[in-house]
Amino acid sequence: MDFRRSSHSDERRRRVLIDDAGQHLAETLPAPRRAAGAGRVAAGPAKTYLEAALSSRQRRVVDLIPTRRWTLLLLLLLTVSVATALEALYGCVALGYTPLCIDQVPAIDLARSGNIADWFSSCLLLAAAGLGVLTYLIRRHRGDDYRGRYRMWYWVVPLLVLASLAQVADLFGSLRTALLVLAGIPHYADAALIWSAVLGVIATAVTIRLMLEMRGCRLAVLSLAAGLACYGLRQAAELNWILATPSVLRVMAMSGLVLLGNISILLALSLYARYVYRDARGEIVRKPRAARSEKQPRRRQRSNSVASRGNAAAAPARAATASSSSETKIRVDQPHTAAASATPAATAPRAAAPAKPERTRGAAASSPARSATARSSAAAVTTARPAARAAAQPAEHAEFDEEGRGDNLSRAERRRLRKLQRREKRQA
């Protein structure tokens, strides 16, 4: 059974696509310049690529940051699988499970320098340094970083590069030997211990500073802490504090701790780079901070409670003072009936002058009764005021001693109560 051949149609499609591409290229490219009088195309820069090759169409550097969870999980599984494969390969050869001898394959010998595991560790730290650079390119544009904390990446990235170089070359050992020779003590017994302490202090300080920087991403902080723990265990094994017996297990454990520490550092920087990238795009939802008024210091709460007790104790005194002040609103001056009667007398004509003595007699007759009433009210006020003051005195001075200072009141509360006392005295 023969099928229909479509060779002619395929060739036709190719010609149509080639013609369309050539037409688009001719529209985008500038017209060639011709030399005057020669009829030839003048030599000049020729544009032979399409617009897709321009920098605006290419990917940015920050696009190398792993932003998907599956990408991070794949990266973790890949690095752990490679480290496990290197450890298993060395164990199988060193323990005699294969006909090969470990001296015949020095590339997988973890006890020697320059093996594949060291190269892999160097690549991990170098990739971590690259992620640090990408993080810095975004982190430096944060708006609320007024103190410029992003500058820490200036020295974190070079330290990662030095650590990557130290994996394939004995950089720290060479530096330690050079310092001992320059100091005149090349065979110092505790040189390894002192050098390990110095490296431990530096690594701990850098890790703590990175944790403070990465505190917004908890997974990155946990991964960084795990890396520091792996480095600490490896250093303890090197000082024979743990796994002191020379064996294949000791070599595998020391190499595995270094690989796990480097993988943890790479994972921490990947997680934080993803966090910074998503934060710059506004994809991170931040929790609102609690108001400061909800959490008051214990001293302030105590002063507020004391002030409330003082106000409650002073309430009766204030009520008595208010009642006494209401009683003091009675006028005690002379009645104005004579003056009121004198006003129309002054405005009256001179012919009504004989009627003035009669009106003054009536006013004088009524004035003794009113003056007696005023004097009795004044006497009542003068007797009420000391009683009110005596009633208010214990309440006002309940929290004060002879000098006017309270036992449990703060300075502001004492000043406030003195002000209330002065105000009440002026009202009284």
Q: What are the pLDDT digits (tens) for 353-396?
A: 444 444 444 444 444 555 555 555 555 545 555 555 545 444 44
pLDDT (average), residues 29-42: 52
Token representation of residue 234: 């490896």
Chain centroid offset of residue 133 CA = 21
225 and 98 in a common domain: yes
377 and 259 in a common domain: no
Q: Say if 320 falls within a structural domain.
A: yes
Supply the pLDDT for residue 133: 95
220 and 117 in a common domain: yes
State how many domains the chain has: 2
Q: Which of 15-24, 157-166, 333-342 has the lowest mean pLDDT?
A: 333-342
User: How far is the C-alpha of 133 from the C-alpha of 154, rounded, in Å?
Assistant: 9
Q: Say if 343 falls within a structural domain.
A: no
Taking the model in full, what pTM does it have? 0.59
Supply the pLDDT for residue 404: 46
Q: Say if 4 falls within a structural domain.
A: no
145 and 65 in a common domain: yes
**How does DSSP classify residue 188?**
-
Cβ contact 102:94 at 8 Å? yes
User: How far is the C-alpha of 224 from the C-alpha of 410, rounded, in Å?
Assistant: 47
The residue segments making up the domain with residue 389 are: 312-325+370-398+411-428
Supply the pLDDT for residue 21: 64
142 and 77 in a common domain: yes
Residue 244: pLDDT band (50, 70, 90) is confident
Q: Say if 267 falls within a structural domain.
A: yes
Q: Is the pLDDT of residue 138 over 90?
A: yes
Percent of the chain with pLDDT over 90: 33
Three-state DSSP class for residue 423? helix
Residue 156: pLDDT band (50, 70, 90) is very high
Q: Say if 1 falls within a structural domain.
A: no
User: How far is the C-alpha of 144 from the C-alpha of 139, rounded, in Å?
Assistant: 11
Supply the pLDDT for residue 353: 43
Q: Is the pLDDT of residue 215 over 80?
A: yes
Give the residue among 134, 170, 142 at the shortest CA–CA distance from 266: 134
Q: What is the dihedral of CA 266, 271, 277, 280, to 10 degrees?
A: -130
User: How far is the C-alpha of 131 from the C-alpha of 267, rounded, in Å?
Assistant: 10
Q: Say if 338 falls within a structural domain.
A: no
pLDDT (average), residues 15-35: 60
Q: Say if 44 falls within a structural domain.
A: no
317 and 262 in a common domain: no
Q: Which of 86-95, 196-205, 382-391 has the lowest mean pLDDT?
A: 382-391
Three-state DSSP class for residue 125? helix
317 and 232 in a common domain: no
The half-sphere exposure of 388 on its side-chain side, counting CA atoms within 13 A, is 23
Greater confidence, 43 or 235? 235
375 and 277 in a common domain: no
118 and 215 in a common domain: yes
391 and 257 in a common domain: no
Q: Say if 332 falls within a structural domain.
A: no
319 and 274 in a common domain: no
Q: Is the pLDDT of residue 76 over 90?
A: yes
Supply the pLDDT for residue 121: 94
202 and 77 in a common domain: yes
Q: Is the pLDDT of residue 260 over 80?
A: yes
